[in-house]
Copies of this chain bind each other. A is one copy, B any other.
């Protein structure tokens, strides 16, 4: 067993929670909803030590630990486990795949019971609030009345804010990371280009590709654009510079530079694990996300709720000024909110990579929250 595995929560398994229906923001009802989820650690007797983790755009329920036979652990394994930031010796950690996704929860690639075929574009357009409403069903099903914390980066952070807006009485604290209170036109623009790339691929076929191959070229290009926005100018320079794959320019349209090879590899591997229609639905949910102004967290009855807002200096996709605005609006409404900008050259990816700083901050924050919840 290697050192990483030793520190990990170990072998984990995805579970499935089914419920009858969910009324969506668009007015439609989603029936026979399944949420894929995982839990790590033990729920205490008072059911007061639960932390809900929410994943980013392409994440899934496997936040930590190894699936049987898997070479790689969950997407935030470096943050969740015994002695880690989200310490499974102390906390009961839950993570579920968002609805609209393609990793076990109900989404456009799921079978529509009414037709016996995959939903495709008959799947209703969902929002961040709908994702969170589904999570609330899961949390209640697990018998938890109040979460010690909700935490997540990027789109996970949007869900964190949505929890604070919609169910403030159900959270003792919240940790939005590398996120925004509303998708900006630039953020919408990158998503729209990705969607156009997918929908422009002839294989997309208006979303009806489930009996054939999915729009791999369009989806791959969409993912390549994503990866550029997840890194920074500087981290690309540090990782690739102008390094060539071969000794000299090819004077052709094969990939000359390492950065080109990296992007193509990332695009190619993504299409093997992600559904193109889910890409459309989840990016649309992000674009619709706007809890600014009158939609923001209300002046709380529950003024004890604590917020830890984290951003990263080189993140230009969800720049620090957006986290500063979240913090300001929380403080204006009387919340106990701490904001930290972590120095990093990793860009948006930093929320997955700057483990040491994040661990220290989150660990201390959760300990304080737990102590005060016990005293309260």
Contact A260 B182 (CB under 8 A): no
Contact B196 A224 (CB under 8 A): yes
Considering the complex, give the chain B residue whose CB is closest to the CB of A264: B196
Cβ of A140 within 8 Å of any chain B Cβ, yes or no, is no
Contact B197 A221 (CB under 8 A): yes
Q: Which residues of B contact A188 (CB under 8 A)?
A: 242, 257, 259-260
Contact B184 A196 (CB under 8 A): no
Contact A253 B195 (CB under 8 A): yes
Q: Which residues of B contact A240 (CB under 8 A)?
A: 185
Contact B196 A242 (CB under 8 A): no
Distance between Cα atoms of A121 and B253 in the complex (Å): 9
Contact A183 B233 (CB under 8 A): no
Which residues 219-241 of A sit at the B interface, judged by CB distance below 8 A? 220-221, 224-225, 228, 231, 233, 236-237, 239-241
Residues 321-359 of A, flagged 1 when their CB comes within 8 A of B and 0 if not, give: 000000000000000000000000000000000000000
Q: Which residues of B contact A304 (CB under 8 A)?
A: none
Residues 119-139 of A, flagged 1 when their CB comes within 8 A of B and 0 if not, give: 001001100000000000000
Q: Which residues of B contact A177 (CB under 8 A)?
A: none
Q: Which residues of B contact A258 (CB under 8 A)?
A: 185
Looking at the complex, which of A14-22, A157-165, A283-291 is the stretch in contact with chain B? A283-291
Distance between Cα atoms of A287 and B255 in the complex (Å): 11
Distance between Cα atoms of A127 and B240 in the complex (Å): 22
Residues 184-201 of A, flagged 1 when their CB comes within 8 A of B and 0 if not, give: 111011101101110111
Q: Which residues of B contact A184 (CB under 8 A)?
A: 233, 236-237, 242
Contact partner of A200 among B124, B192, B221, CB < 8 A?
Answer: B221
Q: Which residues of B contact A225 (CB under 8 A)?
A: 193, 225
Distance between Cα atoms of A190 and B228 in the complex (Å): 7
Q: Which residues of B contact A233 (CB under 8 A)?
A: 184, 186, 316, 319
Distance between Cα atoms of A258 and B192 in the complex (Å): 11
Distance between Cα atoms of A298 and B225 in the complex (Å): 38
Contact B26 A263 (CB under 8 A): no
Cβ of A169 within 8 Å of any chain B Cβ, yes or no, is no
Residues 276-298 of A, flagged 1 when their CB comes within 8 A of B and 0 if not, give: 00001000100110100000000
Distance between Cα atoms of A227 and B331 in the complex (Å): 37
In the complex, 9 of the A-B residue pairs with CB atoms within 8 angstroms, ordered by the A residue number, are A26-B251, A188-B242, A188-B259, A188-B260, A193-B224, A193-B228, A200-B217, A242-B290, A256-B287
